[in-house]
Amino acid sequence: MNENWTLFMRNLRDFWRAFRRNKLGLLGGFLVLTAIIVAVCAPLLTPYAPTDVIRDANGRGMTFAPPSVHGPLGTDDAGRDIWSQLVYGARISLTVGFLAGFIAMFVGSLLGTLAGYFGGRVDNLLMRITDVLLVIPDLPLMLVLVATLRQMDLHISPLAVLIAVIGLLYWTSTARLIRSQVLTIKERQFVDRARAIGAGHAHIVRKHILPQIMPLIVANTVLVLSIAILVESGLAFLGLGDPTKPSWGTMLNFAFDRSAVANGAWWFYLPPGFAIVWVTLGCVLLGNVLEEMLNPRLTAHHLEGDQNMIAIPKQRVE
Amino acid sequence: MSTQPLLSVRHLTTEFHLADKQVARALEDVSFDVMPGQTIGLVGESGCGKTTTLMSVMRLLPANGRITSGNVYFRGNDLLTLREYEMRLHRWKDMAIIFQGAMNALNPVIKIGDQIREAILLHDLMDHDAADYRVDELLELVGIPRARRGQYPHQYSGGMRQRAMIAMALACSPSLLFADEPTTALDVMIQAQVLELLKEIQKKLGLAIVLVTHDLGVVAEMCDSVVVMYGGKVAEYGSAELVYNQPQHPYTQRLLESFPDLNRSTDPSAGSGQDLATIPGTPPRLNALPPGCRFSPRCYKSVEICTQIAPNLVDMATPGSGARHLAACHLLNGTEIEDL
Amino acid sequence: MSLVTIVVVFVINFTLFRVLPGDPVRAVIGRNVRISVETQQALREQFGLDKPVFPDQLFDTFGQWAQGNLGVSWSLRRPVSEVLMSKLWNTVLLIGLGQILAIILGVFLGLMAGWKRKTPIDVAALTFSLVAWAIPTFWLGIILLAAGSTWFGLPTAGIVNPENTGKPLITILPDLARHLFLPTLTLTILYLGEYMLIMRSSILEVLSEDYILTARAKGMSNWQVLWRHALRNAMLPIVTLIALNLGFTVSGAIYIETVFSYDGLGKLFQTALTKQDYPLLQGAFILLAVSVIIANMVADILYAVLDPRVKET
């Protein structure tokens, strides 16, 4: 184990201690964790499957039933329990979001490292690509891509299409971040020294660069995750998800298309959105705190001074 | 003394409240006088409180700064008793300040001429046209061609920016100028120019200057009196001649020795010949100050009492000479002073 | 540089839509009509579809696009450019209104939050921005739609009531306002947070600069310093942000126009997608992409004008 990794481990422990003191970060972690737990334990949390229709005493489906003893969040237009849909939907939303986020992180980190490390033409190429991607409006592009891919009869599940499209479009911010960080690290002497000894590129990247950018990657990934989840919900709302495996966004699509608003069925359209905010907020808080801890910025503020400057006990300033 | 001091700082104590509820005593019991038309040098290592002193006098401390005791008399009025809006009237009109590194001290998106004019118009000294004329006058005074008044800070060289700052500082004809390390960020040739300029201006306008620096050479060239600070306290204070030729405080002695061309130590045990002496150790942390004399951990003369009780300033000047030469060291046999 | 981007966008557009399956000829004619092979061939020739895709079709299409000819919509049987233009102003109105309000409020709140750092107003503003960021656009739209229509009787669809279409603007202003209220409110709430955050961090950065201290040393009051020095410098990043935002606002428009059934470009895009009207889709895409590019160019120029340091390079 070379010293960089031991240093990394020690930093990790200090980090955890500092993290515990930050309330917002803990809140974020709590939010994300509960969402994950709910998703994993879905079957344990509800007796119904999301597709079961709840019937009343006469055997008729209880459509648009408000929250009651049968279903804590009421039923949808066909009598299916919303709470069940919500907890099972967690699985879809989180899976798609996480996978897409990880793809984005992976692609971004890889490209960013390559660009930063090798510089020159590779770097230029990457910068051009990110510039172009930045300019193209994201949602229209994604809509078109998803439509294209689905039409191509490639037998890929709609969710996989979503994951791929989101992942392949949101790596740019990670790439830029990692690239600039790698550039800074590269400036430092030990990379040149290692090269002088004859260390190969892979070795240098693995032992010197990776440990230093890892924390940043982690912090950035969490933020990218939040975006991925939001985007997935949006695309699903527009109907591009998998109706047989509804995520929270798909639930909102159902709610909207099936006149939940007109019927006043707030329990249909409020909970899924609330869940999305829950998880997204959690990721953002977590990510912000992580980033703040890795990149603390303490700045002066020249206009804050007046109030308490003179603290001379006897000579009071009226 | 027949003339009243322009600025009279007495027992100034300033604290900073740090992040984890700790308190750093940046200044303690700092006292000195500035006579009209004279230059006083404020010297010491980084972090010894020089800049904090200036900021305290002008009441420009950051949010966590507190002046906890003392008086700052300007022409007899205690500035610390004024309300903020009253203090504003004194700023720039009576006392102005130039910072080190003028690049950041000037607003990058406003023309230099406009920034200078703003200072004039702010204090209602004259109307627009007269102000414009005055800006040209000031630029000429510092040797900047008038044609360049419409340019921006990034178009000036480092030395020019510093001169522009000086021009701006003089806009309201203050009687006191604070210069915080005016030459530190400049290369040697420009340094000389700026210093010459300051001397010239002082002669012309009868300006009093408080020159903060860690460069003893600058002080030797320009200052009438010197305040040597260490760890937030005054270590030695007196006329430049006395302090340089007969330094009393061990710190001052070491400081003078560490400057190769000012090797005037009178202490025979100070070390051999022309070796560049350094002072071992580091300055004290202001939130964890040692009891007793703040210099004692690094002082080669320190004895037991030095680590227990903080020394008071005593006057080492020849009685009846009319001058004052104060130093704070237990090992000195000076006259006790009452009014400082 | 921007030219390169435009070309790249064109290429992407072209390739993308050629990949999409669906026989253009069939779609134009309609599904159930039987046509002879010769007629099909003739039609193909007419549309230039018999020539090789690359380079002939590519450059032909580019030429047409450059001239503003974006083809004919399959579903609407009208030239694409005409369709786009008719819906463009609706979206511009909505987005424009929402953005302007968000900018004004956001910049003001950001200024307050940064100036009075760590006070309750700052904390409240930060919390609001944080939460607003996590709220999906369309969900907020749905909530406001439900609340607005149930509690305030605000309309739920369209730009104006059907009987008012085509009437001069002045007469239908109240109706227009009622229809615009909810979607604009949604947009404003969502974009407010972002502007506030940027302004806040920008102002914080400016207030830590030495020239602010100089300004105070000159004897200015806090207000004067803020107004004369801090604001000017802090507004610069906002200009860039506004331009960049255009790209993302378009996305927001798609959601909002869908939720509020607002007849603008966003809704058009969505319908073109579902109806597989590729010329229309393609045209809309080009329009959106090009407008973002233009907005970025404008932002660059504006920034150069406002920041004297840029002129030097």
* Structural tokens at position A297: 């910025």
| Residue with the larger pLDDT of the pair B258 and B229 | B229
pLDDT at C311: 58
Asked if residue B186 lies in contact with residue B198, where contact means CB atoms within 8 angstroms, the answer is no
pLDDT at C54: 56
* Structural tokens at position C165: 């279409």
Among C211, C217, C312, beta carbon nearest to B107? C211
**Phi and psi (nearest 5°) for B179?**
-120, 105
Q: Which of A58-72, B26-40, C259-273 has the highest mean pLDDT?
A: B26-40
Name residue A223's amino acid: L
Among A135, A273, A304, beta carbon nearest to C5? A135
**Chain C residues close to A249, C-beta within 8 Å:** 136
**Structural domain span for residue B277:** 249-336
Residue among C81, C60, C58, C57 nearest C69 (CA)? C81
pLDDT at C89: 84
Q: Write out pLDDT tens, residues C226-237.
A: 888 988 888 888
B65:A300 CB<8 A: no
How big is the CA angle at A65 (ends A63 and A69), to the nearest 5 degrees? 130
Q: Which of A153-157, A188-192, A212-216, C244-248 is predicted least confidently?
A: A188-192
Q: Is the pLDDT of residue B154 over 90?
A: no
B107:C215 CB<8 A: yes
Q: Write out pLDDT tens, residues A79-108.
A: 788 888 888 889 999 999 999 999 999 999
Dihedral of CA atoms B131, B133, B134, B140 in degrees, nearest 10, equals 150
Asked if residue B183 is part of any domain, the answer here is: no
pLDDT at B237: 92
- Cα of first residue to Cα of last residue in chain B, in angstroms, is 14
pLDDT at C139: 93
| Coil vs helix vs strand at C259 | helix
Dmax (CA) for chain C in angstroms is 88
Q: Where are the domains of chain A?
A: 20-299
Question: Which residue out of C122, C209, C211, C236 would a mutagenesis test of the B interface target, given it has the greatest number of B Cβ atoms within 10 Å?
Answer: C211
C293:A134 CB<8 A: no
- Cα of first residue to Cα of last residue in chain A, in angstroms, is 64
Q: Write out pLDDT tens, residues B46-75.
A: 878 899 999 999 999 888 889 999 999 999
Asked if residue B163 is part of any domain, the answer here is: no
Asked if residue A285 lies in contact with residue A31, where contact means CB atoms within 8 angstroms, the answer is yes
Q: Write out pLDDT tens, residues B165-193.
A: 999 999 998 999 999 988 877 788 888 88
| Residue with the larger pLDDT of the pair C153 and C255 | C255
CA atoms within 13 A on the CB side of A138: 25
Break chain A down into helix, strand, coil percent, rounded to 5. Answer: 70, 0, 25
Residue among C60, C54, C73 nearest C15 (CA)? C54
| Coil vs helix vs strand at C34 | coil
Please give the Cα distance from B139 to B126 (Å, whole number).
17
Asked if residue B264 is part of any domain, the answer here is: yes
Residues constituting chain C: 313
Q: Is the pLDDT of residue A296 over 70?
A: no
* Structural tokens at position A26: 């803990």
pLDDT at A315: 38
Residues of B at the C interface, defined by Cβ within 8 angstroms: 58, 60, 85, 88-93, 96-97, 99, 101, 104-110, 118-119, 122-123, 152, 154-155
Among A306, A312, A313, beta carbon nearest to B84? A306
Order of all β-strands in the sheet with B23-34: B23-34, B7-17, B65-74, B77-78
B154:C220 CB<8 A: no
* Structural tokens at position C206: 């400016």
Residue in A with minimal Cα distance to C6: A132
Q: Write out pLDDT tens, residues A205-256.
A: 777 777 778 878 888 888 899 999 999 999 999 888 888 888 999 999 988 8
B104:C210 CB<8 A: yes
Mean pLDDT of chain B: 85
Question: Which residue out of A130, A226, A274, A303 would a mutagenesis test of the C interface target, given it has the greatest number of C Cβ atoms within 10 Å?
Answer: A303
> Left (φ > 0), alpha (ψ -120 to 50) or beta: where does C267 sit?
alpha
A·C CB contacts under 8 A: 153
* Structural tokens at position A301: 């503020």
Q: With pLDDT > 90 as the criterion, what percentage of chain C qualifies?
A: 9
C-alpha distances out from residue B8 to A302, C247, C264, C299, Å = 26, 61, 72, 54
pLDDT at A314: 47
Residue among A223, A221, A233 nearest A139 (CA)? A233
HEC secondary structure over chain B: CCCCCCEEEEEEEEEEECCCCCEEEEEEEEEEEECCCCEEEEECCCCCCHHHHHHHHHCCCCCCEEEEEEEEEECCEEHHHCCHHHHHHHECCCEEEECCCHHHHCCCCCCHHHHHHHHHHHCCCCCHHHHHHHHHHHHHHHCCCHHHHHCCHHHCCHHHHHHHHHHHHCCCCCCEEEEECCCCCCCHHHHHHHHHHHHHHHHHHCCEEEEEECCHHHHHHHCCEEEEEECCEEEEEEEHHHHHHCCCCHHHHHHHHCCHHHCCCCCHHHCCCCCCCCCCCCCCCCCCCCCCCCCHHHCCCCCHHHHCCCCCEEECCCCCCCCCEEEECCCCCCEECCCC
pLDDT at A153: 66
Confidence band of A318 (pLDDT split at 50, 70, 90): very low
- What DSSP element (H or E) covers C290? helix C278-306
Looking at chain C, which subunits does it touch, using at least 3 CB pairs closer than 8 Å as the criterion?
A: A, B
Q: Is C5 touching A (CB cutoff 8 A)? A: yes
Name residue C173's amino acid: L
Q: Is the pLDDT of residue C41 over 80?
A: no
Can you point out the beta strands (E) in C49-207? none
Confidence band of B272 (pLDDT split at 50, 70, 90): very low
Q: Which of A86-100, B324-338, C72-86 has the highest mean pLDDT?
A: A86-100
Render the burial of A69-93: b for 16+ CB within 10 Å, e for the rest.
eebebbbbbebbbbbbbbbbbbbbb
pLDDT at B263: 46
pLDDT at A203: 72
Q: Write out pLDDT tens, residues B196-247.
A: 888 998 888 889 999 998 888 888 888 999 999 998 899 999 998 888 888 8
Neighbouring C-beta atoms of residue C98, cutoff 10 Å: 25
Asked if residue C195 lies in contact with residue C103, where contact means CB atoms within 8 angstroms, the answer is yes
Q: Is the pLDDT of residue C27 over 60?
A: no
pLDDT at B281: 77
Q: Write out pLDDT tens, residues C190-213.
A: 889 888 988 988 888 888 888 999
Neighbouring C-beta atoms of residue B337, cutoff 10 Å: 13
Strands B7-17, B23-34: pairing kind: antiparallel
Q: What is the mean pLDDT of residues C6-30?
A: 61
pLDDT at B72: 93
Among A301, A310, A318, beta carbon nearest to B67? A310
pLDDT at B42: 93
Q: Is A309 touching B (CB cutoff 8 A)? A: yes
Residue among B267, B260, B330, B262 nearest B294 (CA)? B330
**Phi and psi (nearest 5°) for A267?**
-70, -10
C-alpha distances out from residue B205 to B89, B262, B263, C43, Å = 21, 30, 34, 93
Q: Which of B253-267, B291-305, C96-110 is predicted least confidently?
A: B253-267
pLDDT at A233: 93
A305:B60 CB<8 A: yes
Tell whether omega for the bond before C55 is within 30 degrees of 0, i.e. cis.
yes
Q: Is A269 touching C (CB cutoff 8 A)? A: yes
Neighbouring C-beta atoms of residue A164, cutoff 10 Å: 17
Please give the Cα distance from C32 to C25 (Å, whole number).
13
For the domain with range A20-299, which CATH number is right: 1.10.3720.10, 1.10.150.530, 3.90.1150.10, 1.10.357.10? Answer: 1.10.3720.10
Among B63, B67, B84, beta carbon nearest to A304? B63
Mean pLDDT of chain C: 78
Write the DSSP string, A139-207: HHHHHHHHHHHHHTT----HHHHHHHHHHHHS-HHHHHHHHHHHHHHHHSHHHHHHHHHT--HHHHIII
Chain C closest CA to B144's CA: distance in Å?
Answer: 20
Q: What is the mean pLDDT of residues A283-293?
A: 83
**Chain C residues close to A141, C-beta within 8 Å:** 285
Please give the Cα distance from A88 to A79 (Å, whole number).
16
Q: Write out pLDDT tens, residues A158-205.
A: 888 889 889 988 998 888 888 888 887 777 756 677 777 776 777 777
Residue in C with minimal Cα distance to B88: C219
| Residue with the larger pLDDT of the pair A246 and C309 | A246
Long-range pairs of A15-23 with CB within 8 A, sequence gap ≥ 24? A15/A215, A15/A293, A18/A293, A19/A289, A19/A290, A19/A293, A22/A289, A22/A293
Q: Which of A70-74, A115-119, A175-179 has the highest mean pLDDT?
A: A175-179
Q: Is A284 touching C (CB cutoff 8 A)? A: yes
Q: Is the pLDDT of residue A47 over 80?
A: no
Q: What is the mean pLDDT of residues B115-126?
A: 88
Q: With pLDDT > 90 as the criterion, what percentage of chain B qualifies?
A: 29
pLDDT at A130: 85
Dihedral of CA atoms B161, B164, B170, B171 in degrees, nearest 10, equals -130
Residue in B with minimal Cα distance to A299: B62
Among A300, A302, A312, beta carbon nearest to B80? A312
Q: Could you report the predicted ipTM of this complex, rounded to two decimals?
A: 0.83
| Residue with the larger pLDDT of the pair C278 and C313 | C278
- Counting the structural domains of chain B, the total is 1
Asked if residue B134 is part of any domain, the answer here is: no
B63:A301 CB<8 A: yes
pLDDT at A317: 38
Q: Is A137 touching B (CB cutoff 8 A)? A: no
Among B92, B96, B106, beta carbon nearest to C211? B106
Please give the Cα distance from B297 to C175 (Å, whole number).
82
| Residue with the larger pLDDT of the pair B290 and A308 | B290
